[in-house]
Amino acid sequence: MRIALVSPYDWAVPGGCNSHVTNLAQQFLRAGHDVRIVAPSSKPWTHAADHLTIIGEYTVGLPASGSVANISLSFNLGSRVKRFLERNDFDVVHLHEPFMPLLPFQFMRHSRTTNVATFHAAREGGSRLYAYARYLIRPWWDRLNGRIVVSRTALRLIGKYFADRYQVIPNGVDYGFFAAEVPPMPEYIDGKLNILFLGRLEKRKGLPYLLQAYALLKEELPDTRLIIVGGDGGMRQACQRYVQRKGLRDVVFTGYVSEEEKVRYFKTAHVYCAPNTGAESLGIILLEAMAAGAPIVASHIEGFGDVLADGKEGLLVPPRDVEGLANSLWRLLSDAALREVMGKQGAKTARRYSWDRVWRDIMAYYERVMNGRAPADGDAGP
């Protein structure tokens, strides 16, 4: 099958949607399908993948759900997309976040084949984009032959504005990669109990609440360490100033790390903590930590609750609850047996989200849509 996977987001900027597209493409290629990824990029010269086409070299950052969406607003996208589609006879054009400006719209405009969309986004309070642009989007809606959502949480968002039939197929996790036996980071294996935060340092990831919780916890468990891994999304300086002002010891900021190092940090953690405040469609970062065997303390938000049950794979705490975070971290760090039980259960749960299963569900959905069978509501995932 010939498949185009279209992302609206700057390919030079790491993110959940682009990671999803990358992994899905790899699975399709391994299965013998002909796949082409299409995305904008602010640094097109840095990409060496043979199956990647860059359309849109100028990107801008727009605020989105407490983060920044880097998209292309280039004036010549339409003509380039049209020529690209004329040169390639695709069986399926798969649009990820189809109503993010501007690239996916051009594919809907010019594509004459089967168009499938995946909706990734989630936001508890709703979407300004959908609210303001609903009537502009509506004429394009019927250009989509199939509609996938990555979770029930994502379904609640898009379904609020566009009632239709969707298939729930979750994001996948590279289970074998994260479950592999790799050594922890040796500099942190010194008898201290390691709490790991891993994510872009931006508002919705909730790091300030974890820092406050750590300040409380450190008084009760002095032999603890907080390892903060991730690129700066605008909050690093403020968080470092808080650490200095409070005189917090054993707080490490590593910055961005490779995927290989990421696994080793999970293996280093006694507890992985995700204090996110919301706007998570599916807890993919939780699944990665669970695959690595790390017990978890996380915010009880939509998206996270879809993959982690409180008291099984970890502990869930109301978002922004500093004392709750501190208490839950204390509970796990003080009980090695409980950490082991939750780590094993997490690994078992994460296996159900393996890409080996997810890509097959997506391919089966393509075939259903291409054969003219109306997509039915329901789950195709765990």
Neighbours of 138 (CB within 10 A): 11
Q: What is the pLDDT of residues 338-347, one digit of tens each?
A: 999 999 999 9
In this structure, the answer to whether residues 216 and 104 fall within a common structural domain is no
Q: How confident is the model at residue 16 (pLDDT cuts 50, 70, 90)?
A: confident
Of all helices (H) and strands (E), which one includes residue 228? strand 224-229
User: What average pLDDT does the segment 256-278 reach?
Assistant: 96
Q: Reduced to 3 states, what is the DSSP secondary structure of residue 257?
A: coil
The mean predicted confidence, pLDDT, of the chain is: 92
In this structure, the answer to whether residues 374 and 346 fall within a common structural domain is no
Q: Which domain holds residue 46?
A: 2-172+354-379
User: What average pLDDT does the segment 263-269 reach?
Assistant: 98
In this structure, the answer to whether residues 217 and 129 fall within a common structural domain is no
Poorest-confidence range of 120-134, 158-172, 326-340?
120-134
Which residues fall within 8 angstroms of residue 324, CB to CB, at 6 or more apart?
Answer: 317, 318
Q: How confident is the model at residue 373 (pLDDT cuts 50, 70, 90)?
A: low
Whose tokens are 């403020």? That residue is: 238
CATH of the domain at 295: 3.40.50.2000
In this structure, the answer to whether residues 96 and 121 fall within a common structural domain is yes
User: What average pLDDT does the segment 367-382 reach?
Assistant: 67
Domain count, the chain: 2
Q: Does pLDDT of 380 surpass 50?
A: no
In this structure, the answer to whether residues 183 and 37 fall within a common structural domain is no
In this structure, the answer to whether residues 322 and 201 fall within a common structural domain is yes
User: What average pLDDT does the segment 182-191 reach?
Assistant: 96
User: What average pLDDT does the segment 299-321 reach?
Assistant: 94
User: What average pLDDT does the segment 154-177 reach?
Assistant: 94
In this structure, the answer to whether residues 98 and 24 fall within a common structural domain is yes
In this structure, the answer to whether residues 363 and 289 fall within a common structural domain is no
In this structure, the answer to whether residues 109 and 88 fall within a common structural domain is yes
Q: Does pLDDT of 26 surpass 70?
A: yes
Q: What is the pLDDT of residue 65?
A: 57
Task: Indicate if the alpha-carbon torsion angle 224, 230, 231, 232 is positive or negative.
Answer: negative
Please state, for a pLDDT cut of 90, what percent of the chain lies above it: 78
In this structure, the answer to whether residues 231 and 117 fall within a common structural domain is no
Rounded to two decimals, the pTM is 0.85
Q: Does pLDDT of 244 surpass 60?
A: yes
Judge if the upstream peptide bond of residue 102 is cis by omega within 30 degrees of 0.
yes
Q: Does pLDDT of 51 surpass 70?
A: yes
Q: How confident is the model at residue 130 (pLDDT cuts 50, 70, 90)?
A: confident
Q: Reduced to 3 states, what is the DSSP secondary structure of residue 353?
A: coil
User: What average pLDDT does the segment 120-132 reach?
Assistant: 82
Sequence letter at residue 25: A
CA–CA dist 299, 278 (Å, integer): 8
Q: What is the pLDDT of residue 177?
A: 95
Judge if the upstream peptide bond of residue 201 is cis by omega within 30 degrees of 0.
no
CA–CA dist 234, 372 (Å, integer): 47
Please state, for a pLDDT cut of 70, what percent of the chain lies above it: 96
Q: Does pLDDT of 353 surpass 80?
A: yes
Q: How confident is the model at residue 382 (pLDDT cuts 50, 70, 90)?
A: low
In this structure, the answer to whether residues 28 and 121 fall within a common structural domain is yes
Q: What is the pLDDT of residue 375?
A: 54
Query: Which has the higher per-residue pLDDT, 234 or 265?
Result: 265
In this structure, the answer to whether residues 164 and 206 fall within a common structural domain is no
Q: What is the pLDDT of residue 15?
A: 82
